[in-house]
């Protein structure tokens, strides 16, 4: 029976903070749930039947947002309106019995849901599809439910829709499907695994499917499916292969096999994040699953593989063992990022993988940790959990697991992870639980808890002295005191250290040092140097801890390390330190930098061209900004950086011409070697253009015209735009025309134009006025705004900030998650020079009255309390 509609009341209250310390276990367990989702032209109807069993004293509370309640029954009886209380966030049933079967019927409007959370429409016209995003709290926008990660239950899902949506998917196994009147049909899915609601997924679409099979180490035959638009289905092979590689890798490295008969991946063009690990039914942003040589750069294609692996790895680290509450988000994300980084490192040069991961960590996570949005890897409070899918939780979270793994060594780490999986399978747990399982291998693992609780990037300083045949290394640590947190404590910091002979380059000793106090000394005995040599110390090898390092290397020692450090990451690292010294003025002459690059590239160009390419990395503007807690002037920092780029280009032009000749265009291959050659060729092309090499213009056109793949084509196009070559406009037009039906390539077309320094704010603004600039597609929105955010000289002007902040305001109503994420790029506004700082302060304050989402309001408030 249908009651009159009951609409949730809007009680406008200030955003409420939730605290980790207030955690209480769920009052009711849900034994099982039956869902019935029926899609109609302009709405959907969702029926839910929950069998709930009391576990503790208290009210029966179900979360629900933007739901129109049509009816509610308790144990078969329709509930009178005074028997329950409905508010904006959900409903409470008063005096509910210990066993309560609740049946609700609600109406929702996926067609008008622009938040990309809950059940929403993606795409328009013939491409229209309906997908879900439930993590972290989207399920409550589909039906009333105890939507929290520690309520695990068994789902049966019926989907019903018009037949032109031929794809009807939900988690688990397909148990039934059939036809209905009115050109409608249905499917019924059953997921045998108990899971939290954030892992629920459903798809109603019209997609093609690529199928494959995998037999697990346990002998299970698994059907693998990747669903995409017909025009994209041939771009799913890379992802499919990555999925099989990931399944095998997890068996080999962690002893973990897949546990259902079916694994599905669905690609959608409108998605806020990269992808989502829903049980047996991952939903992916097209940008993180589609890949073909013609349309996808090497960099992107590599990302596709790593995101596929990431979501697959969640099946154990996240799904089978999940989080007790959202404060523990890093438990699944940190561990899973560490796992996907390790996987990726096994498919390319490990050094390059580490360089890329560390470059991101340093530019983005260190900046976050140094700014007004700094928070611990496990936060203790939040207003909007969506605001905490951050670099700190993901990347610093991964670094902590990596430190534990390195500290334990391979075997003991495996012993700890085996214990974790055995002990907590099927449960919702905490960071403490993770550490306690790991500590079966070594009790000191528990000390790493401090890393989860304390914000701020530690600075490790040190040096060494020689005493006879001993080398004595002293190290000290210091972490800034982040306002509103306890005074920082000393953390356990693994410092992987080696000693080399300055003349022979031979490694004489190496050891993992563990700094656990503010200061400590470590001795290396019996260091046998060759005649006339001195020891060259190399610390924090492979970036053994997420810290800033300030070690008193001599410039010559750094140059030696670039030449002979056997660990590739530290070769790169030594060069980065030298560059930083030049940029900060403590090294005057750039010739040392130029000569070490030249020698190293000569040596690496054949065997590891990817590492050779990375040696040209100049510390990013964002990283350089971190040196300033106040008076940061983007213009002078950029000028100094450009000067170094110019000096390196001039100094290496003749070499670059020769190197370039060694890298002719070749037929496409997807190997580390071929990818490295393509990257190095693009780097050298840019270098030659920077140095004013006229011949390089023709080479850019030639590379575009004869490109075998997108890395070559886009590399050439970006170089033409960056260096303002004569024919750049006609090439841009050609590119657009060739790829006008490929949304992801058109995204790249926007990025290519918005990125160069020569593109002004008003040019970016005009890109955003185009009709193909779709404000409802996050990928498209990010093309220009992320480019602007990466250009501090333009961002921190009145014009730049106006464009940026007006976009945040515009998105606040339609997609608050995206709006808040964009806003967070301004978190270090308070470190600017006085005039820019005052301007930013005023403009940020003006935004407050124009927005209403708790996502944006929470960030604005946190950003403003640091002024």
User: In this structure, how many other beta carbons lie within 10 angstroms of the beta carbon of residue 149?
Assistant: 23
* Whole-number Å distance between alpha carbons of 212 and 771: 39
Contact 314, 297 (CB under 8 A): no
* Whole-number Å distance between alpha carbons of 382 and 370: 19
Which CB atom, from 66 or from 555, has the smaller least distance to ligand ARG?
Answer: 66
Contact 16, 83 (CB under 8 A): no
238 binds ligand ARG (CB under 6 A): no
Least Å distance between CB 16 and ligand ARG?
19
Which CB atom, from 337 or from 719, has the smaller least distance to Zn ion?
Answer: 337
693 binds ligand ARG (CB under 6 A): no
Q: What are phi and psi of 292, to 5 degrees?
A: -150, 150
147 binds ligand ARG (CB under 6 A): no
Q: What is the DSSP letter of 9?
A: P
Q: What 3-state class would DSSP assign to 12?
A: coil
Binding track, positions 814-843, relative to Zn ion; x by CB under 5 A? ------------------------------
How far, in whole angstroms, is CA 174 from its chain's centroid?
32
In the block, tokens 């309640």 appear at 69
Residue choice 23, 186, 347, 389 for contact with ligand ARG (CB under 6 A): 389
Contact 41, 22 (CB under 8 A): no
395 binds ligand ARG (CB under 6 A): no
SS3 content of the chain, % helix, strand, coil (to 5): 45, 25, 35
Which CB atom, from 311 or from 812, has the smaller least distance to ligand ARG?
Answer: 311
Q: Which residues contact 489 (CB under 8 A, 6 or more apart)?
A: 450, 454
Q: Output the six-digit token pair for 781.
A: 């929105």
Tally: H helices and E strands in the chain: 28, 32
187 binds ligand ARG (CB under 6 A): no
In the block, tokens 């990347």 appear at 395
Least Å distance between CB 310 and Zn ion?
6
Stretch that binds ligand ARG, among 241-249, 266-274, 290-298, 620-628 (CB under 6 A): 266-274
Tell me which residues in 97-136 interact with ligand ARG (CB under 6 A): 133, 135
In the complex, residue closest to ligand ARG by CB: 389
306 binds ligand ARG (CB under 6 A): no
417 binds ligand ARG (CB under 6 A): no
* Whole-number Å distance between alpha carbons of 60 and 633: 55
Least Å distance between CB 120 and Zn ion?
20
Residue choice 121, 319, 817, 855 for contact with ligand ARG (CB under 6 A): 817
Could you tell which of ligand ARG, Zn ion, none binds residue 259, using a CB distance below 5 to 8 A set by kind? none
Q: Report in angstroms the alpha-carbon separations of 309 from 33, 672, 691.
A: 30, 18, 41
* Whole-number Å distance between alpha carbons of 338 and 309: 11
Stretch that binds Zn ion, among 79-87, 234-242, 326-334, 492-500 (CB under 5 A): 326-334
275 binds ligand ARG (CB under 6 A): yes
Least Å distance between CB 386 and ligand ARG?
5
* Whole-number Å distance between alpha carbons of 623 and 64: 42
Stretch that binds ligand ARG, among 124-132, 271-279, 291-299, 414-422 (CB under 6 A): 271-279
Stretch that binds Zn ion, among 7-15, 327-335, 461-469, 707-715 (CB under 5 A): 327-335
Contact 651, 850 (CB under 8 A): no
365 binds ligand ARG (CB under 6 A): no
242 binds ligand ARG (CB under 6 A): no
Q: What 3-state class would DSSP assign to 215?
A: strand
DSSP states along 118-186: EEEEES-GGG-EEEEE-TTTTGGGTS-B--STT--EEEEEEEEEETT--EEEESSEEEEEEEETTTEEE
Least Å distance between CB 10 and ligand ARG?
23
* Whole-number Å distance between alpha carbons of 513 and 523: 10
Which CB atom, from 431 or from 593, has the smaller least distance to ligand ARG?
Answer: 431
Could you tell which of Zn ion, ligand ARG, none binds residue 807, using a CB distance below 5 to 8 A set by kind? none
In the block, tokens 């899902």 appear at 157
303 binds ligand ARG (CB under 6 A): no
Which CB atom, from 283 or from 562, has the smaller least distance to ligand ARG?
Answer: 283
From the list 311, 368, 567, 742, the catalytic residue is 311
Least Å distance between CB 145 and ligand ARG?
17
Residue choice 193, 315, 386, 783 for contact with ligand ARG (CB under 6 A): 386
Residue choice 143, 153, 187, 272 for contact with ligand ARG (CB under 6 A): 272
Q: What 3-state class would DSSP assign to 862?
A: helix
277 binds ligand ARG (CB under 6 A): yes
Q: Report in angstroms the alpha-carbon separations of 433 from 134, 328, 424, 448, 492.
A: 25, 11, 8, 13, 19
Q: What is the DSSP letter of 392?
A: I
333 binds ligand ARG (CB under 6 A): yes
Could you tell which of ligand ARG, Zn ion, none binds residue 272, using a CB distance below 5 to 8 A set by kind? ligand ARG
Could you tell which of Zn ion, ligand ARG, none binds residue 273, using a CB distance below 5 to 8 A set by kind? ligand ARG
Which CB atom, from 227 or from 335, has the smaller least distance to ligand ARG?
Answer: 335
The verdict on whether 356 is a catalytic residue reads no
Binding site for ligand ARG (CB under 6 A): 133, 135, 272-277, 310-311, 333, 386, 389, 817
Catalytic residues: 311
């Amino acid at each position: 029976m249908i009651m009159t509609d009951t609409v949730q009341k809007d009680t406008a209250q200030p955003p409420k903070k939730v605290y980790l310390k207030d955690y209480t276990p769920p009052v009711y367990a849900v034994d099982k749930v039956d869902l019935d989702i029926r899609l109609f032209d302009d709405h959907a109807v969702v029926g839910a039947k929950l069998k709930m069993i009391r576990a503790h004293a208290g009210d029966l509370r179900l979360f629900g947002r933007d739901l129109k309640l049509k009816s509610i029954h308790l144990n078969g009886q329709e509930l009178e309106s005074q028997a329950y209380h409905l508010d904006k966030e959900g409903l409470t049933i008063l005096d509910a019995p210990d066993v309560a079967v609740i049946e609700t019927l609600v109406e929702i409007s996926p067609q008008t849901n622009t938040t990309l959370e809950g059940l929403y429409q993606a795409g328009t016209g013939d491409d229209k599809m309906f997908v879900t995003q439930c993590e972290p709290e989207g399920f409550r926008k589909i039906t009333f439910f105890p939507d929290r990660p520690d309520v695990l239950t068994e789902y049966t899902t019926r989907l019903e829709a018009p037949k032109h949506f031929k794809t009807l998917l939900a988690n688990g196994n397909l148990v039934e499907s059939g036809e209905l009147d009115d050109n409608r049909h249905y499917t019924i899915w059953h997921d045998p695994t108990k899971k939290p609601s954030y892992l629920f997924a459903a798809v109603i679409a019209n997609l093609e499917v690529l199928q494959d099979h995998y037999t697990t180490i346990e002998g299970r035959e698994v059907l693998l499916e990747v669903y995409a638009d017909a025009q994209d289905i041939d771009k799913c092979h890379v992802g499919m292969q990555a999925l099989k590689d990931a399944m095998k890798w997890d068996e080999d490295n962690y002893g973990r096999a897949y546990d259902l008969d079916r694994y599905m991946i669905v690609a959608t063009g409108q998605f806020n994040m990269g992808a989502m690990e829903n049980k047996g039914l991952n939903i992916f942003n097209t940008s993180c699953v589609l890949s073909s040589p013609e349309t996808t750069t090497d960099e992107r294609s590599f990302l596709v593989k790593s995101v596929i692996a990431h979501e697959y790895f969640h099946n154990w680290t996240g799904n089978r063992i999940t989080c007790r509450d959202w404060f523990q988000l890093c438990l699944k994300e940190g561990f899973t990022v560490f796992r996907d980084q390790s996987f990726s490192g096994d498919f390319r040069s490990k050094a390059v993988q580490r360089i890329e991961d560390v470059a991101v960590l340093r530019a983005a996570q260190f900046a976050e940790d140094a700014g007004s949005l700094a928070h611990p890897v496990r936060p203790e409070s939040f207003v909007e959990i969506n605001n905490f899918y951050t670099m700190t939780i993901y990347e610093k979270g991964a670094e902590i697991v990596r430190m534990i793994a390195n500290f334990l060594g391979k075997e003991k780490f495996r012993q700890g992870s085996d214990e974790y999986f055995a002990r907590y399978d099927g449960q919702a747990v905490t960071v403490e639980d993770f550490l306690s399982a790991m500590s079966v291998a070594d009790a000191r693992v528990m000390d790493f808890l401090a890393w989860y609780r304390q914000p701020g990037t530690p600075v490790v300083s040190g040096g060494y002295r020689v005493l006879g045949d001993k080398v004595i290394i002293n190290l000290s640590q210091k972490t800034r005191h982040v306002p509103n947190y306890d005074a920082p404590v000393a953390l356990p910091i693994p410092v992987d250290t080696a000693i080399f002979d300055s003349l022979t380059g031979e490694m004489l000793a190496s050891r993992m040092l563990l700094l656990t106090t503010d200061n400590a000394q470590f001795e290396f005995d019996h260091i046998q140097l060759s005649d006339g040599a001195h020891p060259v110390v190399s610390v924090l090898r492979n970036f053994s801890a997420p810290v800033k390092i300030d070690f008193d290397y001599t410039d010559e020692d750094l140059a030696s390390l670039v030449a002979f450090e056997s660990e590739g990451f530290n070769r790169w690292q030594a060069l980065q330190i030298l560059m930083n010294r030049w940029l900060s003025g403590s090294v005057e002459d750039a010739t040392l930098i130029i000569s070490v690059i030249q020698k190293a590239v000569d040596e690496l160009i054949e065997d590891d061209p990817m590492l050779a390419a990375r040696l040209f990395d100049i510390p990013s503007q964002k990283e350089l900004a971190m040196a300033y807690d106040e008076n940061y002037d983007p213009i002078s920092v950029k000028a100094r950086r450009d000067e170094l780029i110019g000096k390196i280009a001039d100094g290496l032009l003749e070499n670059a011409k020769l190197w370039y000749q060694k890298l002719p265009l070749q037929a496409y291959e997807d190997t580390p070697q071929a990818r490295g050659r393509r990257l190095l060729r693009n780097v050298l092309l840019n270098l030659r253009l920077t140095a004013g090499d006229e011949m390089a213009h023709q080479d850019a056109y030639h590379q575009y015209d004869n490109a075998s793949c997108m890395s070559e084509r886009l590399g050439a196009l970006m170089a033409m735009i960056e260096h303002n070559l004569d024919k750049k406009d006609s090439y841009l037009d050609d590119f657009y025309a060739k790829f006008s039906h490929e949304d992801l390539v058109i995204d790249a077309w926007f990025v290519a134009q918005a990125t160069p320094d020569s593109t002004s704010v008003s040019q970016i603004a005009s890109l955003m006025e185009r009709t193909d600039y779709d404000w409802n597609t996050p990928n498209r929105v990010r093309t220009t705004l992320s480019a602007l955010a990466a250009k501090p000289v333009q961002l921190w002007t009145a014009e730049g900030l106006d464009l940026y902040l007006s976009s945040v305001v515009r998105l606040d109503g339609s997609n608050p998650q995206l709006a808040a994420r964009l806003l967070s790029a301004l978190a270090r506004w308070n470190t600017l020079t006085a005039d820019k700082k005052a301007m930013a302060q005023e403009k940020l304050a003006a935004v407050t009255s124009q927005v209403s989402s708790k996502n944006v309001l929470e960030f604005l408030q946190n950003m403003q309390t640091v002024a």
